[in-house]
Structure 1
Amino acid sequence: MPVAAEHREGQKRDLYKHWNKGLNAGDGCGTRTEVILSKAAPAPLVAAGCKLTGGSWRSAHDDVVVTDAARLDVDHFVPLVEVYGFEQVAWSAARREAYTNDQASPDTLCTYAAAWIGAKVRWGLAVAKKRPEQPSELLKPQPRAISTPLMEGFSVPQP
């Protein structure tokens, strides 16, 4: 990965089109729902309009089990603000939409560091010159295993 200075001038979340029609445009489920469905165990029932009923999801971060898909957030391993900050050449709207809706995330056996590095490399993003934890540091042997997310940036919003 190249090393570069980060730039954030002009960054806006709406530069990245979220939750397009997904991999199966005819099923009525957008990318966000497809990701949620792919990580459910057991899977929910999918009704007309892609309304989900049932199912459950377990967070590998904290072992919390969620049974309401509306409580789930789906984010990116490399956050959009960082993607923008390290685009080597300004991306087109189509490339930004493709990144935002990318479902080629690693499975849960990959470490967060490997997923983060993989996303940076796959999308041609640079890393900062001075960062508290450089990717090379993340790959050094750790005293205990690195926790891996259930899905890209999976989290359960707290009330």
Structure 2
Amino acid sequence: MITKTVTAVAGALLMLPLAAAPAGADAAPAAPLTLADAIDQIPSAPESREGYKRSSFKHWVDADGDRCNTRAEVLIAESRVTPTIEARCRVVAGEWYSYYDGVTVDTPGGLDIDHMVPLAEAWDSGASAWTAGRREAYANDLDTPISLVAVTARTNRSKADKDPAGWLPPLADAHCTYIAEWVGTKLRWQLAADDTERAALSDIAEGCGQQEVEYEPAP
């Protein structure tokens, strides 16, 4: 599991895949790409929400059997101080920076764990064809620091299942990091983008300078 700490929102080094790798294959990181080049590598396809149910993505599981489910693992990894953890891995205090809105939070009750690409958007973009096991792996992806992020509940609920054509973080300085992490997640899992989403990503990327990305496929 890769731990992560949310820091400054300017230029981030992300892990993105060029193409899906066979299950169990080792993927060597490739040379960094510009954000614009990474956007170009997202597969293009129309989106469809037909048949979507949130329950199709089993999430907040305890994959390693340590009594800490996915939500707790993210809270522990992202706390800027040593978090307070009670019995059965209940995280009760720490310090988290919600980079969507620039707010620091010291109690986890004010936080949601956001799927960078929401479950419904993932379904629309290709996950509808996945096995239940792969959807569970997606919904609990702790192996990269970009798939799941602790943010204020109000920003996560404002975002809902919107893509960047319909929602961006309220903190303008977060936009480039946000779309880079969005693109990183789409490429890591080989999810597609429709024309409207791609156009929005490209427009924002024009103001992001030489932000670089690095990619690695999901298992």
TM-score range (shorter-chain normalised) is 0.7 to 0.9
TM-score, scaled to structure 2: 0.58
1:13 aligned onto 2:13: no
Larger RCO: 1 or 2 (CA < 8 Å, sep 6+)? 2
> How far 1:131 sits from its partner (Å)?
3.3
Cα distance, 1:105 vs structure 2: 2.5
Unaligned runs of 5+ in 2: 1-41, 150-173, 212-219
Kindly tell me the number of residue pairs found equivalent between the two proteins.
Answer: 142
Alignment correspondent of 1:121: 187
Q: 2:145 aligns with which of 101, 105, 127?
A: 105
Residue in structure 2 matched with residue 87 of structure 1 by the alignment: 126
Question: What is the aligned counterpart of 2:204 among 138, 142, 146?
Answer: 138
* Runs ≥4 residues deviating over 4 A: 107-110
Normalising by structure 1, we get a TM-score of 0.78
Give the aligned residue type for 2:201: P
Check the 8 A contact 1:20/1:31 in 2, yes or no: yes
Q: After alignment, is 7-16 or 52-61 more displaced?
A: 52-61
CA distance in 1, matches of 2:102, 2:128: 39
Please list, as runs of the form range in 1=range in 2, the aligned pairs for 1:25-40 lying within 5 A after superposition: 25-26=65-66, 28-40=67-79
The 1-side partners of 2:208 and 2:187 are apart by 23
For 1:102, the aligned partner's letter is: D
Inter-partner Cα distance in structure 2 for 1:56 and 1:18: 24
Q: Classify 1:68/1:81 alpha carbon distance in 2 versus 1 (closer, same or farther; 3 Å).
A: same
**1:55 and 2:94 aligned:** yes
User: In structure 2, what is the Cα distance between the partners aligned to 1:64 and 1:100?
Assistant: 25
How far off is 1:130 after superposition?
Answer: 2.6
Gaps of 5+ in 1: 146-159
Q: How big is the shift at 1:29?
A: 0.7
Q: Counterpart of 1:63 in structure 2: which amino acid?
A: G
CA distance in 2, matches of 1:88, 1:72: 26
* 1:132 Cα deviation from its structure 2 partner: 7.6
Task: Kindly provide the amino acid, as one letter, of the partner of residue 52 in structure 2.
Answer: Q
The amino acid of 1:51's aligned partner reads R
Kindly, what percent of the aligned residue pairs are identical? 39
* Corresponding residue SS for 2:117: coil
Instruction: Tell me which residue corresponds to 2:110.
Output: 71
Per-residue CA distance 1:105-154 (angstroms, 9 max, x = gap): 339998111111111111111101233843322321259x9xxxxxxxxx
Structure 1 or 2: more strand by fraction: 2
Decide whether the 8 Å contact of 1:40 with 1:56 is kept in 2: yes
- The alpha carbon displacement at 1:89 in A equals 6.5
